[in-house]
Structure 1
Amino acid sequence: MTALAPAQKPAEPLAANGSPVARRAPLRIPVLLGILAVVALGVFGFGAKSGETSTFAISLRSDAVQFDPWVVSVRPTTIALGVVLVALAAWSIWLALRGRTSPWWLLALYGLLWASSFLVWIVAGSSTSLVDLLQGSLLLAVPLAFGAFGGLLCERAGVVNIAIEGQLLVGAFAAAVVASVTGNVYAGLVAAPVAGYLLGLLLALFTVKYAVNQIIVGVVLNVLAVGLTSFLFNAVLKPNSSTLNSPPRLDPIAIPLVSKIPLVGPVFFRQNLLVYLLYGAVFLLTWLLFRTRWGLRVRAVGEHPSAADTVGIDVNRTRWRNVVAGSSTAGLGGAFFTIGYVGAFGPEMSGGRGYIALAAMILGRWTPVGSLGAALLFGFASKLASVLSVLDTPLPSQFLLMLPYVLTIFAVAGFVGRVRGPAAAGVPYVKG
């Protein structure tokens, strides 16, 4: 057998002197950063009133060490942050002109500084608890992260999972009913992924076995989940709410010693079991997908299923397993709504978070760590909207309610162009 010749790179354009012409990286992201930096400097900085302060509580009474609230002068702080943001945006544009993309840490630092500038500006003249804001942001990111993990498990194997919304909803319903009937919150925690698994069986049946359009099947399953849970709520749960819709809730678990650390302890180590499961899930999925033979096979199926088939990988079996595993993971996230946060089931209580989870997966580049970061971003937006709704802020309350969804559209529209999903996602595989 003759060896294949190595693939040749396309010839680079040459300048008049014969030297290669540097290719410019896309300017969309750097220009967007520049616009946002100007907004931060002009509106949050020079637009702030002189003499105003923002107050942030950074410790709780149960912390081992107490700190006084952090009082920040709004105008000088936001101007300084705005100048740094302009510098970072200019650096990003300079890198793009030289044919280089902005590193991830630059984008992360930029986002952190921009959010800080906005927060200092919006809380001007008032006070809020920074601990409560960050703690709530992490908690609200739980269903988004588990939903995103469920989506990436499916798409890494080549199946687009639009049914995350339905999986979150049936998981929430099952957790509420089982925990109420048994009086055991952990029984409800087990029931949630089982419900997601059952919905995942339908998704795998139609998309993998019968090769039905994956987008259509996902939308239909979402409608099915909404209709079924709403009917059961009105017909069964509502008349028997004391016995079928009064589940116990997961109590916060304080990790000894570290939970007493100011700011860090309450945010990361004084949470309920779902948050700690989230910590383990992100490390486990990262290791499985990128450090094991199983992960290599899954990614091969999602990128080039026919090539994977030729080396002996059962493509459709892999897709079946990943779809039900991803659906179970999303169902586990649904338990957050009932036994992890609200304490009862309500119709359509997922509130479109399945679609936000899908956006978090895309923004996170189909990786567990990236998906978690995007989920935290959306969780922060949701918590910030609820915190600011009780403060006298210059933004209308309606805009604050729209903030998580506007951020979803803005983030995906601004950043998704820089990434590429699995090549075979959404394409049924029929063995020839």
Structure 2
Amino acid sequence: MTVDTSRAEVTPGMFSLAEQKASWRSTIVMGFFAILILVFFGLLGRQEPVEYKISAEDAAISLPAFVGISSTVNIVVGIMLLAMTAVAAWWVSKNTPVPLWWITLYGAVGLFGLLGWLAAGDTVPLAFLLANALILAVPIIFGGLSGVMSERVGVVNISIEAQLLAGAFVGAVVGSLTGNLYVALAAAMVAGMLLGMVLAVFAVKYLADQIIVGVVLNVLVIGITNFLFSQWLSSDADRANFPGTLDIFAIPLLSDLPVIGPVLFDNRVTVFAAFLAVPLLWWVLFRSRLGLRARSVGEYPLAADTVGINVGRTRFWWVSLGGLLAGLGGAALTIGNTGAFGKEMTAGQGFIALAVVILGRWHPFYMSAAALLFGFSIILRVWANQVSPGIPTDFILMVPYLVTLIAVVGFVGRVRPPASVGKPYVKE
């Protein structure tokens, strides 16, 4: 006897994570940073002018820059953050969780003050920082999408690093040899998908330990790409490792908008692909029958099997297609940014992608927001070294990881992964 699933009603809450209860933890963290900014960046801050350059110099529509005194700006920011903390405390007192959009707005206001403190006596190029944060976040977003797809069906994907690195290598080499960067994009996706298939075969068919398989794939791909880079690419770089980068496309009218125009609508195809992939995966996961079945496999595979869903086949294809997206993220590193492959150029971004999957609670939009946070912290580190050379370099290097710890401890708290993640399923 089988149960007909064709009439199953798909709702956003089915097989989703438990709702977050109201907690004073996030409010306490918000109050702490509000006081920190008010006192140290404001009252005790630097009495130097700071200019916030809102639009790029060559923008079609230009907005005037905002100029203020660094300490004064942060006094105002600190007061605003205290007011926002008070609103958050009122919500918690009513046993209502602080909305994510409110925490995001709080972070944006606080970041405005931090930038003003770092650039005291200099300029804050907002459009430049946002555009580079987005470009740096794209590989992490694609890696995170791969992690979401894999773990939503119950397979731990430790091999995102390998998929990104393979995509970066194949994209650069194929682009150099063929001269066609779109063929290189396709080849990079195939490379990532093949690695996803290897993980899926060992995890689903042979029931191997998923973490061990992922670690082995990471080590294997790092070794192979390092060997080929040393023995081939470094000695024949002009022919095999000089693909160039994809063309930048400007969407008419939208690219002329102040600030967001050059950031969102004047970019390469890899960035636009990320804009499409994130909402598409969200829709498939939470608004389609296919996504309902995938989430059921990740939560209750026995129940899914009982109603006629092929657990092994579902896991295999979702993990494989997740690898395809990670391969595209690897191509975004080479032909979408640097224009050449470098030894171990992913530099742990696959593991950062794993972190943003957890930070984003296995949700495409939240994961992407966490990836953007990482991207901004990376460009902030680079930019801060230029405008504030007096700040210790070690402190600036800590910024991405400090931001992660604050986000996890202060705002994310305890998370629940899909119930069957990492657990092989044996059909009885």
Partner of 2:66: 70
Q: 8 Å contact 2:22–2:98 — kept in the other structure?
A: no
For residues 402 and 222 of structure 2, what CA distance do their matches in structure 1 show?
23
Amino acid in the other structure paired with 1:348: E
Q: Structure 1, unaligned stretches of length 5 or more?
A: 1-23
Alignment equivalent of 1:270, drawn from 263, 266, 273: 266
- Within 2, Cα distance between the matches of 1:104 and 1:418? 15
**Mapping of residues 5-404 of structure 1, within 5 Å:** 25-50=22-47, 52-404=48-400
- Shift, 1:85, TM fit: 1.3
Distance 1:373 1:243 in 2: 38
Tell me by how many angstroms 1:394 deviates: 4.6
**One-letter amino acid matched to 1:178:** V
Q: Which amino acid aligns with 2:203?
A: T
State the Cα deviation string for residues 54-111 of structure 1 (Å, max 9, x = none): 1122223432233333212212221111112122223333433443221112111111
1:393 CA displacement: 4.7
Assess, with a 3 A threshold, how the Cα gap between structure 1 residues 409 and 330 changes in structure 2: closer, same or farther: farther
Residue 241 of structure 2 aligns with an amino acid whose one-letter code is N
Contact 2:56 2:128 in 1 (8 A): no
Take 2:413 and 2:213, find their aligned partners in 1: how far apart are those partners? Answer: 26
Over 3 Å counting, the alpha-carbon distance change for 1:416 and 1:67 in structure 2 is closer
Whole-angstrom CA distance in 2 between matches of 1:82 and 1:324: 47
Distance 1:309 1:186 in 2: 39
- If you compute each CA radius of gyration, which structure gives the higher value, 1 or 2? 1
The letter for the 2-side match of 1:27 is W
Residues 171, 335 of structure 2: 8 Å contact kept: yes
Q: Indicate the percent of aligned positions where both proteins have the same amino acid.
A: 48
TM-score (norm 1): 0.91
Structure 1 SS opposite 2:413: helix
Query: How many angstroms apart in 2 are the aligned matches of 1:181 and 1:83?
Result: 58
- How far the C-alpha of 1:49 sits from its partner, in A, is 2.5
Checking the alignment, whether the CA contact within 8 Å between 2:118 and 2:387 is kept in structure 1 is: no
- 1:113-164: CA deviation from partner (whole Å, max 9, x where unpaired): 1111111111111113211111111111100111111100001101111111
Q: Say if 1:175 and 1:191, in contact at 8 Å, map to a contact too.
A: yes
- Partners of 2:215 and 2:36 lie apart in 1 by 38
Contact 1:363/1:415, CA 8 A, preserved across alignment: no
- Is contact 1:166–1:225 with CA below 8 Å preserved after alignment? yes
SS of structure 1 residue aligned to 2:386: coil
Mapped to 2, the partners of 1:280 and 1:403 lie a distance apart of 30
CA distance in 2, matches of 1:27, 1:424: 30
Q: Is 1:258–1:265's contact at 8 Å kept on the other side of the alignment?
A: yes
Q: What SS is found at the alignment partner of 1:362? A: helix
Give the Cα separation in 1 of the matches to 2:72 and 2:403.
Answer: 27
Task: Report the CA distance between 1:358 and its aligned residue.
Answer: 1.3
Structure-2-length-normalised TM-score: 0.91
SS in 1 for 2:124: strand
348-357 or 404-413, which deviates more: 404-413
After superposition, the Cα gap between the structure-2 partners of 1:336 and 1:399, relative to the gap in structure 1 and judged at 3 Å, is farther
1:408-419 alignment runs, 5 A limit: 408-419=404-415
Quick one: distance in 2 between partners of 1:128 and 1:88? 24
Shift of 1:228: 1.2
2:351 is aligned with what amino acid? Y
After superposition, the C-alpha distances for 1:382-412 in whole angstroms (9 at most, x for unaligned) are: 1111112211355222332332233234323
What SS does structure 2 have at the residue aligned with 1:340? Answer: helix
Distance across 1 between alignment mates of 2:411 and 2:64 = 39
Of stretches 211-220 and 327-336 in structure 1, the one that deviates more from structure 2 is 211-220
Superposition deviation, residue 327 in structure 1: 0.9
